[in-house]
Amino acid sequence: MPDPHVSDLSVPELLELDRRHVWHPYGPMPGRQEPLVVESASGVRLRLAGTGTELIDGMSSWWSAIHGYNHPALNEAARDQLGRMSHVMFGGLTHEPAVRLAKRLVDMSPEGLEHVFLADSGSVSVEVAVKMCLQHWRSLGRPGKQRLLTWRGGYHGDTWQPMSVCDPEGGMHELWQGVLQRQVFADPPPVAYEESYADQLRELIERHADELAAVIVEPVVQGAGGMRFHSPAYLRVLREACDAHDVLLVFDEIATGFGRTGSMFAAEHAAVTPDVMCVGKALTGGYMTMAATLCTAQVADGISRGEVPVLAHGPTFMGNPLAAAVACASIDLLLGQDWQTEVKRVETGLREGLAPAAELPGVRDVRVLGAIGVVQLDHEIDMAAATRAAVREGVWLRPFRDLVYTMPPYVTGDADLARITAAVCAAAREG
Ligand SMILES: Cc1ncc(COP(=O)(O)O)c(C=O)c1O
């Protein structure tokens, strides 16, 4: 009897069609690298087609699957919602999953964030955040305030506005310099607090205040721009300088939100409320795409006072009920457990397991924060060799540039964590 889950196509046939027709993230066409074919996933394991090999997932599917795969509570939420409606337009209509989700997000996010725009991806939520900020000032009669300030080393997504605030040098969007809106960049934030760097931030915000709509940063952890950590004290510096000079503050918590750094949102490390906050990735526990842009009453009020008193943004799949229902279930799952202890346990496992990497030749730095473990090399990694080394250890990792890192699901057990860290070390050694 054929396994009903195995498609009619053989793995080589799938791969050939994939190479010819399917564009992969940051990939050429036709494809040059052979991806692994995943047949199913459960708990923290990905099962590969053909061989049935299982890999422990050290990536949480780009940091989103915090509860692991095929989770009974999330499956149930999806099935239950599917039985009612998977989608309905959001213009002129509303529904319980979206309302419940917005309420949960407001309740759990830093005090003062009250309004929620449901977007369809992290990048789109950043577009919406930028639009909110520009429109806020335009509505208040200050249309000249339309640039953004950020620090180098950041990453905010792949659509147009987010690309303009990604690191303009050495990052993946360098190609578009001169085409993208020219934003204001500070140096990358140092790991520890330095008064001279705080002064640089203050000085830039003051100097450009008349043209700045907002400062946008990833708080505490810069993710895809280099997996760098910095002192939360800089967030307070930004808050004070933004307040002093009529500039809005946007925190992109798409990577850091929902407990990843050890607090529910990274903003909490500094007890700072931004004017606008983006969340995504783990919002639906990695089940489907959804993100959200939250803002304060002040931002919304500014917009509503304008000549065009509405936020002119409305994606077709805005507020998708299926995604919203799963997001509610994912948040309930997170809040219903002692997630801080779980993230701390993962942090301890990563610290212990990655410590030996510091002794490896070619390793520049090893750093851990919450459920994030990073090994930085002193050279560009051989991605294929590093991936092979991890797979040989039974682990899925996706190294990039000079980095081998892991952001495992919070439910990863200690034995699996040890295998993940061993695989990170192997990838760092061989990559
Ligand atoms: C901080 C941050 N912002 C924005 C994004 C873009 O999100 P998405 O890939 O869902 O568009 C990412 C994705 O990695 C991210 O890490």
What pLDDT digit, counting tens, does each position of 400-427 carry? 999 999 999 999 999 999 999 999 999 9
> What pLDDT shows up at residue 8?
85
How does residue 6 score in pLDDT terms, banded at 50, 70 and 90?
very low
Options 3.30.950.10, 3.40.30.10, 3.90.1150.10, 1.10.3810.10; CATH for 36-70+338-430 is: 3.90.1150.10
Task: Enumerate residues 6+ apart whose C-beta is below 8 A from 420.
Answer: 56, 58, 353, 395, 397, 406, 408, 412
314 is in an annotated binding site: yes
Q: Is 122 in the pocket of ligand 1 (CB under 6 A)?
A: yes
* Catalytic entry in 281, 287, 410, 416: 281
CA dist list (Å): 161 to 56, 312, 373: 35, 16, 29
Active site residue 234: no
pLDDT at 81 over 90: yes
Annotation: CATH topology of 75-335: Aspartate Aminotransferase; domain 2 (3.40.640)
- What span, in angstroms and rounded, lies between the C-alpha atoms of 152 and 181? 15
* Domain chopping of the chain, boundaries: 36-70+338-430, 75-335
23 is in an annotated binding site: no
> Are the C-beta atoms of 184 and 148 separated by less than 8 Å?
yes
Give 116: exposed, middle or buried? Use CB within 10 Å, 0-12, 13-18, 19+: buried
pLDDT at 2 over 60: no
123 is in an annotated binding site: yes
pLDDT at 16 over 90: yes
Q: Is 223 in the pocket of ligand 1 (CB under 6 A)?
A: yes
- What span, in angstroms and rounded, lies between the C-alpha atoms of 200 and 196? 6
What does pLDDT average to over the chain?
96
* Residues 272/372/217/178 CA torsion (nearest 10 deg): 180
Active site residue 155: yes
> What pLDDT shows up at residue 86?
98
Residue the block writes with tokens 């090994």: 375
Q: Is 218 in the pocket of ligand 1 (CB under 6 A)?
A: yes
> What pLDDT shows up at residue 400?
95
pLDDT in tens, 378-407: 999 999 999 999 999 999 999 999 999 999
Looking from the CA of residue 291, the nearest atom of ligand 1 is 10
CA 347 to chain centre: 18
Helix (H) or strand (E) holding 122: helix 122-139
> Are the C-beta atoms of 254 and 291 separated by less than 8 Å?
yes
